[in-house]
Amino acid sequence: MESLATIEGRNPVIEAIKNDREIDKIMIANSAKEGSIKKIIGMAKEKNIVIDYSAPNIAKQFHIGHLRSTVIGGALYNIYKYLGYNVTGINHLGDYGTQFGKLIEGYKRWGTEYNLDENPIEKLTEIYVRISNLCKEDETVLEACRDNFKKLEDGDPECVELWTKFKDLSLREFQKVYDILGTKFDSWNGESFYTDKMGEVIDLLEKSGKLVESQGARIIDLEDYGMAPCLIEKSNGSSTYATRDLAAILYRARTYDYDKALYVTSYEQVLHFRQIFEVAKLLGLDEKYIKGYLHKDEKCNKVTVQETETSGALPIETRYRPLGDNGSVTLLEVELITGRTHQIRAHLAGTGHPLIGDYKYGRRTLNDEYCRKYGLKSQLLHAYRLEIPEIEGRLSYLSGKEFTAPLPYLFQKILKEEHVEENKSYENLA
């Protein structure tokens, strides 16, 4: 027998999807158009989730931290799959970095002493420890290790051959663990995958004016965010973890068009990820685009948003980025690519995330709650910046001008009392 979900109430299907209920068939007590139902169900099936988990380091032991990440990430993967999301599981291998310059140097010196066919990771670890100790004693050895990694990035045949050998041996051993756990991945793109993709990140950072030189290296100053600088490029021109992680964010956003990205990692990595997420925001990598076609009903002065073009419908495009949230509501910065009647209100409502205070397209119960709590009687929507393009004629004196307006007091009060101010990003709108 087919499972059947019977849902009643105002916008019942939207509410069901918002709460991530798995639905095979829907019977709505309140009459609704079949086309609208199909559209809403389709929205649920189009949600994309990217999960980054496991991520062991090549040529190093698979430790308890990696096991924890693997198990938790695998569980999240299965749960989201069960709920009907499009899920991509990524094993972001630690297969690049200065440590490989060390390992290459160590293998050049002592490789003939070790049989890597038996317990390869154990033997590679011994080599790494041995060369690391030598680096502490001799600065010239450390410099040679750094040069090896730079050669690897530049495609030196010998360095690439050794690195490939270390990676293949490690993956063979890791797979034994994954087979025991029943863990699978959709992508094995590790740090090395983004070698040829970091240039675009650096170009974007240069254009932003945020990339500055410090002691021969290049960094992003994050003092305003209460964090240490984010190292983008070392003094010898080699890349960093941060550069590769930023390239990964950019690639995944374009490839998977994800609605949510999850990173399953250890607490010790919190600062690193806070840094790269903040830099990603500076680059606008957290921006999202939604498109559709808007049809206006002149009789009731109300619009509907459709996925496909129909007679009389106008194309719309909206860009947005989240600035903060409390788990229930989110503060968005929205840019109109097209300017249509009720575009922001209708477009966001069509995604299942209507404006607070919007009785025409929003949720009455939620709006009533904010009215009782804060006396809110209007939409929580504020035009904080207006840019005038180049124009001719009587209004040409306005060409290129920009006008800004601070957030109203009630808007700021709600943000503060609803604890949507965690990252203080809304101050950009003040």
| Active site positions, annotated | 60, 63, 66
Q: Which helix (H) or strand (E) holds 302?
A: strand 302-306
Report, in angstroms and rounded to the nearest whole number, the Rg of the chain calculated over CA atoms: 26
Cβ 97 vs Cβ 241: under 8 Å = yes
Cβ 292 vs Cβ 307: under 8 Å = yes
Tell me which DSSP letter residue 131 carries.
Answer: H
Q: Which long-range contacts (CB under 8 A, 24 or more apart) does 14-19 make?
A: 14/40, 14/352, 17/41, 17/43, 17/44, 17/352, 18/352
d(CA 49, CA 43): 14
Amino acid identity at 27 = M
The encoded tokens of residue 406 equal 């601070």
Cβ 43 vs Cβ 351: under 8 Å = yes
Cβ 183 vs Cβ 74: under 8 Å = yes
3-state SS assignment for residue 272: helix
